[in-house]
Amino acid sequence: MSICLFPNVAYLSETSRAVAIYKALRRIGETPIVATHGGTYEFVLQEERIPYRVVPPVMTPERCRDYVLANIGKKPRFYSAPELREHVGEEASFFRAHEIRVAHIGFTLSTKLSSRVVGIPLSTTHGSFFPLVFEKRLAPYRKDFNRGPIRLLPESWKVRFANWLYSHGRSYTGPFNAVARELGIAPVKSVADLFLGDYTFVTDTPEIVGISTQEMDAWHNGSDSGYSSSIRLIHAGAIYAELFGELEQNVLNFLKTEKPKIFVALTSSAEDYLSAVYDCIQDLNARVVFCTTTQPKRFEASEDILITDHILMPLCDLAIIHGGQGSVQTAIASGTPVIGFALQPQQNLNLQLVENHGAGFNLPFSALKRRRLRARIEAVLSDPQFAGNMNRLKE
């Protein structure tokens, strides 16, 4: 019987976490089976020489892109019911054939149902987005929504509603519950329930998120909660990317400068957001590493702009990111302040925690207007307190 790591390789952050978990399991004598539906960052598993199996249906790069867009609200659902039914059936067959005793994911959401079909526990690495955060009302509301009459509402109301919505809202659950009814298994009770596993590993630092390890270990969900199974929280600590091998000489030469160095990694972004940042940084008196992996290759290099797929945060003075936990933790481990634009609620929380500690800015997309973004970039680069605060988080 085996552990199965089943990453959704539409996401670089999830793929890098699966790599780290695989290596950690190997160090303690476990050899997990790695499976995936394939997709954008499958090449990372290949570069890391990790054996894996592709389970049908295979996700094309276009399908991966749609999945990511659903995650940020640009598409109405992760799966159609027929597609989800196929994913669940193939995964359940795979789990049975390989005698899997526990499935571990990040965001392969179909396994919420396939693990129940087979009767095995589901394990997740879930960052800072877990029930205690909602109960303590730590998750921020989206700053982009703070417009018009909403701006007049008390802050406490907006925060309370946001945290209730994350733990009780039912968006995205329709296809899952339609298939669950067909299969005679427990339905998904909320959007947070969809993302959580029977064992939910909290990959954050208690001092940063503001919740102690003792509180995490002691938490349990009651029968009236917005969750459909008994969830155990387990503190695991930070897991962040250390991928893409040795730096090429042209990259090292580019970074040999007295100018400030900025790392832009908006790898899950819609092209219009990426273009707005690119337009802002083109004439900065700085060296900019513009990280692209899946976006159209229309962004041009110059003397001060390098287009690459290398992760270079430790060598830069500022990172501009969307706020996925992998990116945020890489920035923290590097001591690099961040400016972020959250595409979805978990990113919003990750960035807000950094801003709360004075190590960067969590900005609405309206701030992408050239003047406002430029002012924030200059603030971070000119004030050493941002780097000092990020180094405190690094420690």
- DSSP conformation class of 246: S
213 close to 206: Cβ distance less than 8 angstroms: yes
Q: Please indicate, yes or no, whether residues 269 and 184 belong to a single structural domain of this protein.
A: no
The reported pLDDT for the residue numbered 270 is: 63
Q: Please indicate, yes or no, whether residues 225 and 184 belong to a single structural domain of this protein.
A: yes
Q: Please indicate, yes or no, whether residues 142 and 217 belong to a single structural domain of this protein.
A: yes
Start-end of H helices in the chain: 12-27, 42-47, 61-71, 81-97, 111-118, 131-135, 155-168, 174-183, 191-195, 206-209, 213-218, 249-254, 271-281, 325-334, 345-356, 370-382, 384-394
> Based on the structure, what is the number of domains in the chain?
2
Residue 19 neighbours by CB distance under 10 Å = 22
- DSSP conformation class of 127: T
Query: In the numeric block, which tokens belong to residue 188?
Result: 């998904």
291 close to 264: Cβ distance less than 8 angstroms: yes
Q: Look at residue 362 and tell me whether its pLDDT is greater than 60.
A: yes
Q: Please indicate, yes or no, whether residues 213 and 288 belong to a single structural domain of this protein.
A: no
* Residues above pLDDT 90, as percent of the chain: 65
DSSP result, 153-215: S-HHHHHHHHHHHHHH--TT-HHHHHHHHHHT-PPP-SHHHHH--SEEEE-S-HHHHT--HHH
DSSP result, 42-67: HHHHHHTT---EEPSSPPPHHHHHHH
- Of 204, 235, 266, the residue at which a domain comes to its end is 235
Asked if residue 96 belongs to a domain, the reply is yes
Report the alpha-carbon distance of residue 286 to residue 244 in Å, rounded. 24
Q: Please indicate, yes or no, whether residues 60 and 125 belong to a single structural domain of this protein.
A: yes
Q: Please indicate, yes or no, whether residues 229 and 257 belong to a single structural domain of this protein.
A: no
> What are the phi and psi torsion angles at 362 (to 5°)?
-105, 105
Least confident of 109-113, 149-153, 265-269, 271-275: 265-269
* Per-residue pLDDT reduced to its tens digit, 251-283: 889 999 999 999 998 866 667 778 888 888 888
Name the residue range of residue 324's domain.
249-394
Q: Please indicate, yes or no, whether residues 222 and 258 belong to a single structural domain of this protein.
A: no
pLDDT tier for residue 185 given thresholds of 50, 70 and 90: very high
Residue 322 belongs to domain with CATH number: 3.40.50.2000
- Average pLDDT score over residue span 60-66: 92
- Average pLDDT score over residue span 93-113: 97
Q: Look at residue 6 and tell me whether its pLDDT is greater than 70.
A: yes
Q: Please indicate, yes or no, whether residues 194 and 295 belong to a single structural domain of this protein.
A: no
The reported pLDDT for the residue numbered 225 is: 72
Q: Look at residue 97 and tell me whether its pLDDT is greater than 60.
A: yes
Residue 274, helix vs strand vs coil: helix
Asked if residue 242 belongs to a domain, the reply is no
Q: Please indicate, yes or no, whether residues 230 and 355 belong to a single structural domain of this protein.
A: no
pTM above 0.85, yes or no: yes
Asked if residue 243 belongs to a domain, the reply is no
Q: Look at residue 94 and tell me whether its pLDDT is greater than 90.
A: yes
Higher pLDDT, 5 or 324: 5
Q: Please indicate, yes or no, whether residues 138 and 180 belong to a single structural domain of this protein.
A: yes
Residue 147 belongs to domain with CATH number: 3.40.50
Q: Please indicate, yes or no, whether residues 218 and 259 belong to a single structural domain of this protein.
A: no
Handedness of CA 222, 226, 230, 234 (dihedral sign): negative
pLDDT tier for residue 308 given thresholds of 50, 70 and 90: confident
- Average pLDDT score over residue span 287-300: 71
pLDDT tier for residue 91 given thresholds of 50, 70 and 90: very high
- Cα distances (angstroms) measured from residue 333 to each of 106, 205, 329: 21, 12, 6
Higher pLDDT, 35 or 225: 35
- Average pLDDT score over residue span 287-303: 74
Q: Please indicate, yes or no, whether residues 283 and 142 belong to a single structural domain of this protein.
A: no
Higher pLDDT, 356 or 76: 356
Q: Look at residue 243 and tell me whether its pLDDT is greater than 70.
A: no
Q: Which of 28-42, 137-151, 243-257 has the highest mean pLDDT?
A: 28-42
* Per-residue pLDDT reduced to its tens digit, 14-51: 998 999 999 999 999 999 999 999 999 999 999 999 99
Q: Which of 69-78, 140-149, 190-199 has the highest mean pLDDT?
A: 190-199
Report the alpha-carbon distance of residue 250 to residue 49 in Å, rounded. 26
The reported pLDDT for the residue numbered 316 is: 94
